[in-house]
Amino acid sequence: MKHRVVFLDRASLKAAVRKPACALEYVEYDKTAAREIVTRLAGAGIAITNKVPMRAETLAQLPQLKMIAVAATGYDVVDVPYCKQHGISVANIRNYAVHTVPEHAFTLILALRRNLLAYRQDVENGVWQRSDNFCFFAHDIGDLHGSTLGIIGEGAIGQSTAAIGRAFGMRVLFADHAPPKVQGVTFSPHEQVLAESDVLSLHCPLMPSTRNLINLAAFRSMKRNALLINTARGGLVDEAALIQALDEGLIAGAGFDVLTVEPPRDGHPLLDLRRPNFILTPHIAWASDGAMQFLADQLIDNIERWDAGAPQHLVT
């Protein structure tokens, strides 16, 4: 069957995207504001979205819509219960970021654990140049070997992050729902993982049950030398509590690739958090060239498989 297919935020994907074989018409928009969604999807049977929200009040105005192809693993931008109730299929992307996100997470971990930003700043400020010794030890440097890596989320990305941690000689603990989804994963209670982790890395979806999962109480239960890494979703962490935790020394540092509001605007408190033990990157952990092309290919595969009656990667 032929469909009108509309990609609402094509600019969010830096990769070649082929036209779906089932497309009667294929339209791409670089970005789409909320007020433009209904007009642009008029007559469309298939919508492609990365971050453009598809809420119930919008979907109710699109009776011809039969499928939403999400150009990401996380699908919190889609009102899944509404789609399930009204027969709209929703497919997401699986396993495309199993290398790029863990590599980015460990880029943040290593930079923070070895205080690279602080030492780089000292070089830029001429501190090393004025030193009497060939080196100087102004900031702590910690090894990963022998430390504990706590992971919240035992999916493919969490598993890949664990593999890198083990290669560094780290002890790995998983905190997720019990029993675990993945065979061979030993479940550890959430409180134990918070208390014992030297590095805590988040790799779980954003849901009502995980929003502000890391709050002030969680920070108070963590080690004072612990690092918090978030390459998953911004809403997993109470950002005001994060600032307080860093100010009070409840944790040693944090590396974030995601924020609750993206893109952040002037006035976002984490934009002003200019300190060497906090690193903020602009939601790029997923964005290696190889990962994005894998995503783009699977995105269209999902549409074509659904149209052929053999759907894959459906969340509803």
Q: Which of 233, 239, 274, 304 is catalytic?
A: 233
Active site residue 262: yes
Q: Which of 25, 36, 191, 262 is catalytic?
A: 262
Q: What angle do CA 116, 124, 119 make, to 5 degrees?
A: 20
Distance CA 241, CA 247 (A): 10
Rg (CA), the chain: 22
Residues 51/43, Cβ–Cβ less than 8 Å = no
Q: Which residues, in sequence order, are CB contacts of 248 under 8 Å at separation 6+?
A: none
Q: What DSSP assignment string belongs to 106-138?
A: HHHHHHHHTTHHHHHHHHHTTTGGG-SSSS---
Q: Which of 283, 304, 305, 313 is catalytic?
A: 283
* DSSP H or E run through 84: helix 80-85
Active site residue 239: no
Active site residue 283: yes
Q: Which residues are catalytic?
A: 233, 262, 283
